[in-house]
A and B are shown apart, each in its own frame.
Chain A
Amino acid sequence: MSDTLTDAERQLVDVYLDGDFPEREYASLFQRLETEPEALAYLAARTQLDVDLRRSFKRRKLQQLAVAVAAKSTSQPSMKWVRPSGSLIRTSLLKRLNAATFIVSLRIAPESPLTLTILLTPDVGPGQIYWLISGLEKPSRGNGTVFIKTGDQPKNLRFASNRPLKRAELIQWHTLAVVHDPANKRVRHYLDGALLNEKPLDDSHPLKLRQLVIGNWGFTTEPRNFVGRMDELAVFKRAFSDEEIAKF
């Protein structure tokens, strides 16, 4: 460990490696890295630890997945409905979109959790999206809704459908769509081609869709992974009209 760096500076190295970048704070740190070999060695060692940890946990994840897949055909026949825990389906699209249309056909499994992730970007912040079905048969709230969030400020960037969705209804195939339409300052939700509702979009950020995770929230404390089947998930780089959605 480098004695030339203070505890706070060493913590800043971790923050940098974690992907945050408060530029003002780093200026003096990087100056020290340039001039003090011990500080540079600390950065290299810390990066190496980070990379080794990443590799170790990826390996563990693959092992878990292998076990889940191996168990699937024998002890848990119902697993055909459930994606093995820890699996991740990712896709990579255009970097930024102002307008977008998301469409998916899906049916949920009867035993699905209260909240189901359809599509999300792995980061948090303006322009990141979370498209979810939430609150399915939650006793305190009645029926569920479908919502899309396009940032980290729940109040003005969370767009929920008004029409209640029932679990019993969603175990059949349905098509959901959401249109992010900054030109008309609207977010619109559709079920089977029919408009559910629309919400005003006052504070729009370009959507950052470079990495998209399908159906996976990823945490165990509150299950939010999609349990069921999806088909024909599509993302379009413009806002579809009501007529286009109906014809889709």
Chain B
Amino acid sequence: MSHEEEINARERLARHWLEAEPSVQAYVFTAVSGFQDAEDVLQQVALTVARRFDENDAMRFFCTWAAWLAKSRIAYHYRKKERERLVFSEALIDQLAEVLVQQQRERAARRAALEHCLDKLPEKSRQILAIRYQEDAPMERVAEAIESTAGAVRVILFRIRNLLAECRNSELTRMTS
């Protein structure tokens, strides 16, 4: 491969990966419980994709291919952990990949709708989300920050996410109608 061809190939890879990464991330985050473990696995997937992207010349099914690579990294992760947390069957993992790859098409609209809904949340709710997602804080630390208990924080977060999910769905409906 000439220098120019290599640069072109890398650009193609970067473009495809940017497009596919949110779906692959969602896939890994569902199959691997725990943010840090999931981050590690996602990083390994990214490395494997970069190492093996020559195998996927046409790049036409990049997201499906990346999800397939992710599946093997997830399996490896559980083997390494001596299956202590393996919960999903292979069939479920496959189904999940299919659903998440399908969702990739709506990504831009979904994220725009989410931003809109986040701006409508009360300040206190946004603060709780920020501690949880911006600082990657575990429940116990979120609880400490808002002077509550971990159990109460779980319930609060569940309700905030419900509100966001409902708001986002109606926003998406409004955008497409």
Q: Which residues of A contact B (CB under 8 A)?
A: 1, 10-11, 14-21, 23, 26, 30, 33-34, 37, 40-41, 43-58, 60-61, 86, 88, 122-124, 152, 210-211, 218-221
B10 contact set on A, CB distance < 8 A: none
B72 CB-CB contact with A under 8 Å? no
Q: Are B36 and A30 closer than 8 Å at their CB atoms?
A: no
Q: Are B36 and A44 closer than 8 Å at their CB atoms?
A: no
Q: Are A88 and B22 closer than 8 Å at their CB atoms?
A: no
Given A53-B114, A57-B134, verify A21-B158 contact (CB < 8 Å).
no
A54 contact set on B, CB distance < 8 A: 133
Within the complex, the shortest CB–CB distance from B64 to chain A, in Å, comes to 15
Interface string of B127-145 (1 = CB under 8 A from A): 0011101111111110011
Q: Are A122 and B29 closer than 8 Å at their CB atoms?
A: no
Give the docked Cα–Cα distance between A18 and B101 (Å).
22
Sample 26 A-B pairs with CB under 8 A, ordered by A number. A14-B158, A15-B154, A18-B154, A19-B138, A37-B95, A40-B92, A40-B96, A43-B30, A44-B26, A44-B103, A47-B29, A47-B100, A48-B26, A48-B110, A50-B161, A51-B26, A52-B22, A55-B22, A56-B133, A123-B138, A124-B141, A211-B36, A218-B137, A218-B141, A219-B135, A219-B144
> Which residue of chain B lies nearest to A51 when distances are taken between CB atoms in the complex?
B26
Q: Are A18 and B139 closer than 8 Å at their CB atoms?
A: yes
Give the docked Cα–Cα distance between A50 and B137 (Å).
14
Given A44-B103, A88-B135, A123-B36, verify A219-B161 contact (CB < 8 Å).
no
- Secondary structure at the A interface, as helix, strand, loop or mixed, is helix
Q: Are A19 and B34 closer than 8 Å at their CB atoms?
A: yes
B99 contact set on A, CB distance < 8 A: 40-41, 44
- Secondary structure at the B interface, as helix, strand, loop or mixed, is helix
Give the docked Cα–Cα distance between A215 and B42 (Å).
26
> Which residue from B29, B115, B135, B161 sits with its C-beta under 8 Å from A51?
B29
Near A by CB (< 8 A), chain B positions 22-49 give 22, 25-27, 29-30, 33-36
Q: Which residues of B contact A (CB under 8 A)?
A: 22, 25-27, 29-30, 33-36, 85, 87-89, 91-92, 95-96, 99-100, 103, 110-111, 114-115, 118, 129-131, 133-141, 144-147, 154-155, 157-158, 161, 164-165, 168
Give the docked Cα–Cα distance between A55 and B18 (Å).
13
Q: Are B34 and A57 closer than 8 Å at their CB atoms?
A: no
> Which residue from A26, A43, A55 sits with its C-beta under 8 Å from B96?
A43
> Which residue of chain A lies nearest to B38 when distances are taken between CB atoms in the complex?
A19
Given A33-B92, A47-B26, verify A122-B133 contact (CB < 8 Å).
no
Within the complex, the shortest CB–CB distance from A140 to chain B, in Å, comes to 20
A20 contact set on B, CB distance < 8 A: 33, 139
Give the one of A47, A49, A122 with max B CB within 10 A: A47
Having A18-B157, A30-B88, one finds 7 other A-B pairs with CB under 8 Å, namely: A19-B33, A23-B87, A44-B30, A47-B100, A54-B133, A56-B115, A152-B140
> Which residue of chain B lies nearest to A61 when distances are taken between CB atoms in the complex?
B134
Give the docked Cα–Cα distance between A211 and B177 (Å).
46
Give the docked Cα–Cα distance between A48 and B26 (Å).
6
Q: Are B22 and A51 closer than 8 Å at their CB atoms?
A: yes
Q: Are B158 and A11 closer than 8 Å at their CB atoms?
A: yes
Q: Are B33 and A16 closer than 8 Å at their CB atoms?
A: yes
Given A40-B99, A48-B110, A219-B131, verify A17-B138 contact (CB < 8 Å).
no
Q: Are A57 and B130 closer than 8 Å at their CB atoms?
A: yes
> Which residue from A30, A40, A56 sits with its C-beta under 8 Å from B114?
A56
Q: Are A60 and B130 closer than 8 Å at their CB atoms?
A: yes
Give the docked Cα–Cα distance between A58 and B115 (Å).
13
Give the docked Cα–Cα distance between A46 and B29 (Å).
11
> Which residue from A17, A34, A45, A86 sits with its C-beta under 8 Å from B89?
A34
> Which residue of chain B lies nearest to A128 when distances are taken between CB atoms in the complex?
B138
A49 contact set on B, CB distance < 8 A: 114, 161, 164-165, 168
> Which residue of chain A lies nearest to B25 when distances are taken between CB atoms in the complex?
A51
